Amino acid sequence: MRDFMYRNRYLILRRLSQISILALFIGGNLYGWKVLRGNLSTSRLLDVVPLTDPFALLQMTATGNIASREALIGGALIFVFFAVVGGRAFCSWVCPMNMITDLANRLRRVLPAKAGISLRMDRNVRYWAAGLALVLSAVLGIAAFEWISPISTLHRGLIFGMGAGWTAIVAVFLFDLLLVQYGFCGHVCPLGAFYSLAGKFSFIRVRHLKDNCTHCMQCIEHCPEQQVLPMVGIASSFVTSGECTNCAKCMDVCSEHAMKLGFRTGKHNNG
C-alpha cells in the first residue's frame, strides 16, 4: 500500500488538487462557501480576489468588447500564476477534463491493443484551434471556444447542472479511448494550446538527470506529451517545451529518480 502510494504520489496529489477545487466551487453554489465562487471561467477567491480565464478574456477582446477592470485583473492574476508554475499545470492540476481523459488513457492500456483505432493526428491542431477560436470570436461577436468548450460543459455541469451536456463529455472520452491516444488534451484543446504558449518560460520545470537514467523508457511510455522528452537518456536538462503539463507522471513511474521537478534558472538550463 505504501509502495502504491509512493508510485502514484503525484497522481494522488493531482487528483486531490482537481477534486478539492471542484468541491469548493460546488460548495460555493450549493452551500454558499466563500472560498471559491463562480467557476473556472470567472470566479472570486474568498469573495475578494477576482480570477478570470485569460483565454476567455482574449476571446472576449477579439469580439471587440473590453471586460471590466475586475475581470482584467483576474485574468492577469491567473496568467502570471500559470506563467510561473507552468502553463499547462492548469491542465493536469486544475482542469476537470483531465480526469476523464486520464481514465480513457488508462483504459487504453488495459484494453486489448486492437480495441480502438489509433488515428494519427498532428499535435499542432490545437494551435490552429486556438487561432480559429480568436478569429471566430471576432467574426461572430461571441467567445467562440467558451460556447463549445467541453471543459466548461463538464465543469459548469457539475456545479450548476449537467443537462444534455454529458453527451459532449462522453464524446471526448470515446475520442480519447477509441480514436486518438491523448486525443483531446494532447492534440485538440485550444485552452491547452494557450497555456502551452503562456507557460513557455515557466519557472517550475521537469528536470531530467541523465546519470540516474537506466534507459527503461517508462517516463516516455507514460508521458501524455512524449515529444517534450527528447533528452531522456541523452542529456541532463530541463524540459523546455511549453507542452509539458507538469503532471509529474514521469516522476511517479521513474524508480531511479532520474526525473525531478525543479526551479529553472539560467545557469541550470543545461543540467
Partner 1 sequence: MTAPEGSEKMPERRQFLADLFRGAGAAAVGGLAWAGFLDGKKAYPTVLRPPGAVKEEKFLALCTKCGLCAEACPYKALVIAKPGDERPVGTPYFIMRENPCKMCRDIPCAVACPTGALDSSLMRDKDERGRDKLNINLAKIGLAVIDRETCIAYWGIQCDACYRVCPVIDKALTVERTANDRTGKHAILAPVVHSDHCTGCGACERACVTKKASIFVLPLHLALGESSDRYVRGWDEKDEQRIEDVSEETKTVTPRSEKSALEYLNKDGF
Site string for partner 1, 197-216 (x = CB under 8 A): --------------------
Q: Which is nearer to partner 1, 29 or 241 (CB)?
A: 29
Among 84, 99, 132, 216, binds partner 1 (CB under 8 A): 132
Task: Give the up-direction half-sphere exposure of residue 122: CA atoms within 13 A in the CB hemisphere.
Answer: 6
Residue 139: all three cell numbers together: 467574426
Instruction: Name 149's Cβ contacts closer than 8 Å, sequence gap at least 6.
Output: 191
Q: How far apart are CA 37 and CA 43, in angstroms?
A: 5
Site string for partner 1, 8-47 (x = CB under 8 A): --------------------xx--x----xxx-xxxx---
Q: Is 140 in the site for partner 1 (CB under 8 A)?
A: yes
Residue type at 254?
C
Angle at 43 between CA 85 and CA 149, to 5 degrees: 80
Smallest gap from residue 9 Cβ to partner 1 (A): 33
Q: Is 157 in the site for partner 1 (CB under 8 A)?
A: yes
Which runs of consecutive H residues, i.e. helices, occur in the chain?
Answer: 2-7, 9-30, 54-62, 69-85, 89-93, 97-110, 125-140, 144-148, 150-160, 166-174, 183, 190-198, 218-222, 249-253
Q: Which is nearer to partner 1, 150 or 186 (CB)?
A: 150
Q: Is 141 in the site for partner 1 (CB under 8 A)?
A: yes
Site string for partner 1, 48-87 (x = CB under 8 A): --x-xx--x---x--xxx-xx-xx--x-------------
Instruction: Name 71's Cβ contacts closer than 8 Å, sequence gap at least 6.
Output: 42, 50, 52, 57
Q: Is 153 in the site for partner 1 (CB under 8 A)?
A: yes
Candidates 164-172, 204-212, 231-239, 251-259: pick the segment binding partner 1 (CB under 8 A). Answer: 164-172
Candidates 80-88, 152-160, 174-182, 197-205: pick the segment binding partner 1 (CB under 8 A). Answer: 152-160
| Measured CA distances, 190 to 106, 130, 199, 207, 228 (Å) | 23, 4, 14, 26, 18
- What strand order describes the sheet that includes 237-238? 237-238, 204-208, 259-263
Smallest gap from residue 135 Cβ to partner 1 (A): 7
| Residues at the site binding partner 1, with contacts judged by CB under 8 A | 28-29, 32, 37-39, 41-44, 50, 52-53, 56, 60, 63-65, 67-68, 70-71, 74, 122, 124-125, 128-129, 131-132, 135-136, 139-144, 146-148, 152-153, 156-157, 159-165, 167-168
